Structure 1
Amino acid sequence: MKPFQFTRLAALPLAPVLVTQARQLRRDTPRLPDAALPWTGSRPGPDPLRLLVLGDSTAAGVGAETQDDALPGWIAHEIAERWQRGTTWRAIGENGATAKHVLDRFVGAAASVPFDLALLTIGANDALGLRSRAAFTRDVRAIVLALRAASPDAAVLVSLMPRFDRFALLPEPLRATLARHAGSLDMGARLAVGDLEGVVAIPTPPPYVEGFFASDDFHPSSLGYRLWARFVFDSAPGLDFGLH
């Protein structure tokens, strides 16, 4: 068994400290709203791609004023820049959602409308809740399989864990504990979807630049979402949505 599989057990001796730090963090961290409605939109251009953004608070656009300033809008911007195509997009998600929540509550609605490209952004809340690696990877694979079954010709991009070790607001030992457990979940999910056709697991992000985070120092700002969207496509060079 790999050392990553013991990350929850390793946290047990620190449990009293971790619980106290987590409570203080929830108490002191500002709770930002979701991006304003509507969570559907478009960017003009030829032969528009149908985009789905599905997941947790980052799918809900927390940290940005509108979804145009969050992942859907900036992914549409990248599509226009890279392939000169338009986009119609919709976002589905919830602040605090785990992979289990997305699977049980949102994947049906997400799969009910055809799409050409889906971005699943999931994992941070599973790490925060110290969910088991087995449960998380099972749920991520089930979500991706449901999306692939609904739109077999679409590409599915899976963006997993943030780098908790780079979150300045997290005190130690909470920061290191979350980073280790997130690494375990991240590795498991990559293995779980790595054999699926049309699926790309996006690498862990590069260092966060100044201005990446919103005012809560946890969620991306509009700049953060813009950089994230660019990184997503830079990390999936095989994608080609050019007009032929």
Structure 2
Amino acid sequence: MYQFVALLLWPILLVQALWVKRNTLRLPEAEGERSGKGGYGMPLNLLILGDSAAAGVGVDTQDKALSGCLSKCLAQYYSLNWALVARSGATTVSTLNHLRSGHGIKVMQSNEFDLVLVSLGVNDVLSPISVNRWLLAQRALIDTLYQYSPNAHIVLTPVPPLGVFPAFPSLLGWFLGQRAAAFNDKLRQLASGDTRCCLLDLQLPVNDEAMARDGFHPSSASYQLWGEAAASHYISATKGSANQY
């Protein structure tokens, strides 16, 4: 249904998209280390993989970003060895190509990861890729991760509700919200039919406190909630009991 409306209103959507691209505040990726060790207990190798949100856009340093929040939570229970592979603008296909490149292969060969948290989909929704082609790319990404870490617990992050993001005008927001919902439907189908991965139950709030200054990326408070949710999910999945932070 939303595709038909988009065909009718594509000139307006195009104008709004160009306006957003020209006027949205562009924030840098968070500064700081992209790998580290800490904690005590059973060893755990963690890979955080993805886009600008995974890279910490919206906060100043990695300790306030997803990598810092998640690693601090997990380090309470594990001897943690973590790595972050993320960049602004990354799509599922570009991330897959990176993992298959020389540098990506080096990262994947450096450790057999126990937990992989994936943050991809927003830039795919913003691109012309079809939802079915995106699903194929997601499956290929999971296959590649398992090639190097066959025992990994892969956690997929749902696409956020772009339709209510402050950065988008109402019509464009509606279209992107519908498209994001369609992508999430496919992601749920993938996770329910593939025992190698699961979909994180994550619904971050969308308000001034939860959003960065650009009206698009998470704030430090949202990164904290995201990290807590991912850590709690992993601990529950591997130990059979939920943990609170």
Provide TM-score, normalisation by structure 1: 0.87
Q: CA deviation at 1:204?
A: 5.0
Give 3-state SS (helix, strand or coil) of 2:46's partner. strand
Counterpart of 2:219 (choices 214, 218, 221) is: 221
Other-structure match for 1:131: 129
Other-structure match for 1:97: 90
Task: Tell me, in whole angstroms, the C-alpha distance in 2 between the residues paired with 1:194 and 1:33.
Answer: 35
Q: CA deviation at 1:76?
A: 1.3
What stretches of structure 1 move > 6 A for 4+ residues in a row?
Answer: none
Tell me: CA distance 1:50–1:177, structure 2 relative to 1, closer, same or farther (3 Å): same
Give 3-state SS (helix, strand or coil) of 2:78's partner. coil
Amino acid aligned to 2:98 = R
Other-structure match for 2:33: 38
Amino acid aligned to 2:12 = V
Task: Tell me, in whole angstroms, the C-alpha distance in 2 between the residues paired with 1:170 and 1:100.
Answer: 25
Count, aligned residues: 235
Tell me: CA distance 1:71–1:120, structure 2 relative to 1, closer, same or farther (3 Å): same
Other-structure match for 2:75: 80
Tell me: CA distance 1:67–1:56, structure 2 relative to 1, closer, same or farther (3 Å): same
Tell me: CA distance 1:124–1:147, structure 2 relative to 1, closer, same or farther (3 Å): same
Using the TM superposition, name which of 61-70 and 203-212 deviates more.
Answer: 203-212
Give 3-state SS (helix, strand or coil) of 2:47's partner. strand
Give 3-state SS (helix, strand or coil) of 1:30's partner. coil
Task: Tell me, in whole angstroms, the C-alpha distance in 1 between the residues paired with 2:186 and 2:54.
Answer: 22
Give 3-state SS (helix, strand or coil) of 2:238's partner. coil
In the alignment, does 2:24 pair up with 1:29? Answer: yes
Other-structure match for 2:198: 200
Task: Tell me, in whole angstroms, the C-alpha distance in 1 between the residues paired with 2:43 and 2:63.
Answer: 16
Tell me: CA distance 1:11–1:233, structure 2 relative to 1, closer, same or farther (3 Å): farther
Contact (CA 8 Å) 1:31, 1:216: kept in 2 or not?
yes
Give 3-state SS (helix, strand or coil) of 1:180's partner. helix
Other-structure match for 1:183: 181
Identity %: 31
Matches within 5 A, 1:147-186: 147-186=145-184
Provide TM-score, normalisation by structure 2: 0.87
Using the TM superposition, name which of 108-117 and 32-41 deviates more.
Answer: 108-117
Amino acid aligned to 2:84 = A
Tell me: CA distance 1:17–1:37, structure 2 relative to 1, closer, same or farther (3 Å): same
Task: Tell me, in whole angstroms, the C-alpha distance in 2 between the residues paired with 1:240 and 1:7.
Answer: 42
Task: Tell me, in whole angstroms, the C-alpha distance in 2 between the residues paired with 1:203 and 1:173.
Answer: 27
Tell me how large the CA RMSD over aligned residues is: 2.2
Matches within 5 A, 1:134-145: 134-145=132-143
Structure 1: where are the runs of 5+ without partners?
Answer: 1-5
